[in-house]
Structure 1
Amino acid sequence: GLPDVDGIDLCRRIRGRSEVPIVIVTARNQVAERIKGLRAGADDFVVKPYDVHELLARIEAVTRRSRPIVPESDAQVLLHGGQLRIDLVLRQVLVDGAPIELTRKEFDIVAVLARYPGVAVPKERLIREVWNTDWRGFGHSLEVHVGAIRKKTGDRRLIETVRGVGYRLAGS
């Protein structure tokens, strides 16, 4: 029932580019339609009319299943003698045990840098992994986000600028 595109085709296109959880909600109640949706890449299929609580429970279940399982040894990155802790599972950055409030994009930048310890990560790779695009127009936005991370953590040396390349986590 989408105005511009068939939902099954849209599902296929999304699945071809991403592993994002997909729950199809539709009035089409034929078994063949449900099978087609699931085979197109949907993780779940809900037919109208539905109970809102059931829909929310299904979304929670699909989201829970789609979280990557990170081995405990890779779940945390410690920097500066353990004063800075990045918990990749809880999506949390702690400085001296106190949580730092980062936006989703700010945390994603830190997480990408943490996945490449000691490596200068090119700006293009950060943009591709954080914004899911190759468009170079996000370069200034990346710089602004890095500045915000430095300010929020109180450590301007946390993220090192590698001239002509990109950024690297200090002390990793």
Structure 2
Amino acid sequence: MKKLKVLLVDDDWKLRNLLRIYLSKEGFDTAQASDGSEAMMKIQSQPFDLVILDVMMPNMDGWEVCKSIRQTQSVPILMLTALGETKEKVQGLEIGADDYLTKPFDPEELIARVHALIRRASSVSSKQTANSVLNFPALTIDRDGHRVFVHDKPVELTHKEFDLFAALAKNSGRVLSREQLIEQIWGYDFEGDARVVDIHIKNIREKLKRSGLAYNPIQTTWGVGYKFEAEVRKP
């Protein structure tokens, strides 16, 4: 059976080596990068099943690397940082990170989060079907292709924005609470602020409006959550 491959990105050699040892014991194959530029070179040259990414690095920091990865790939990203502020975590999740771990951390917690992210990614992949394109008035959502179109022109959504938008569209007409959306998109073990959902919804709405969509497909049900509301276009 082919080993799952993890890219470790941190300018601290000791931490990278420690992570390599822990992950190797769990059966993972690992590659390492000491800065953002080296990480991007490796990501562009070979596939990875997970990226563990430090935030504070010289030259190209973790924020920049995460944004660059999300332009082309949906590989799970676990960010590491010495910053424990909620706003820092929201920033990381907003630009496309899948999970966040504050240093210093327990190795067992890191391994548990790695397994959870890979299970989640595998589950999403296994649930995809051939008929994955959702059509609405002036709006198309291609779930397999991770693309959104308004009037047949692409709308640039981040990885998490797309997952959130697609989850709402798939449950069109049904109100989903913030907690339900967090569990679906970030996982039951997410420990961040539920306001991250509101931030993503605001960004999605603004991007759809700028793209020329004449209606707002994401409706707020006050005190409950959000629902997708649009009349499905007949094929």
Task: State whether TM-score is above 0.5.
Answer: yes
Q: How does 1:98-137 map to 2 (within 5 A)?
A: 98-135=153-190, 137=192
How far the C-alpha of 1:139 sits from its partner, in A, is: 2.0
Q: Distance between the aligned counterparts of 2:48 and 2:226, measured in 1?
A: 39
Q: Distance between the aligned counterparts of 2:191 and 2:18, measured in 1?
A: 32
- Name the structure 2 match of 1:71: 129
In structure 2, stretches of 5+ residues that fail to align are: 1-15, 32-41, 50-74, 76-121
- Name the structure 2 match of 1:41: none
**2:217 corresponds to which letter in structure 1?**
L
How far the C-alpha of 1:68 sits from its partner, in A, is: 3.4
Matched residue pairs, number? 126
- Name which of 157, 162, 168 aligns with 2:216: 157
Deviations 1:17-57 (A, max 9, x none): xxxxxx5148xxxxxxxxxxxxxxxxxxxxxxxxx8xx826
1:86 maps to 2:141: yes
- Name which of 227, 230, 233 aligns with 1:168: 227
Judge conservation of contact 1:86–1:94 (CA < 8 Å) in 2: yes
- Name which of 145, 149, 152 aligns with 1:97: 152
1:7 maps to 2:23: yes
How far the C-alpha of 1:132 sits from its partner, in A, is: 2.3
How far the C-alpha of 1:93 sits from its partner, in A, is: 0.6
In structure 1, stretches of 5+ residues that fail to align are: 12-22, 27-51
Q: TM-score, normalization: structure 1?
A: 0.60
Change (3 A) 1:70 1:94: same
1:56 maps to 2:46: yes
Judge conservation of contact 1:127–1:138 (CA < 8 Å) in 2: no
How far the C-alpha of 1:147 sits from its partner, in A, is: 0.7
Judge conservation of contact 1:124–1:134 (CA < 8 Å) in 2: no
Q: Distance between the aligned counterparts of 2:189 and 2:18, measured in 1?
A: 29
**Structure having the larger proportion of residues in helix:** 1
**1:3 corresponds to which letter in structure 2?**
L
Q: TM-score, normalization: structure 2?
A: 0.45
Q: Distance between the aligned counterparts of 1:149 and 1:95, measured in 2?
A: 12
**Moved segments of 4+, more than 4 Å:** 8-11, 133-137
**1:76 corresponds to which letter in structure 2?**
V
Secondary structure of the structure 1 residue equivalent to 2:182: helix
Q: Distance between the aligned counterparts of 2:205 and 2:185, measured in 1?
A: 17
Q: Distance between the aligned counterparts of 1:122 and 1:57, measured in 2?
A: 35
Judge conservation of contact 2:24–2:30 (CA < 8 Å) in 1: no
Secondary structure of the structure 2 residue equivalent to 1:93: strand
Change (3 A) 1:57 1:153: closer
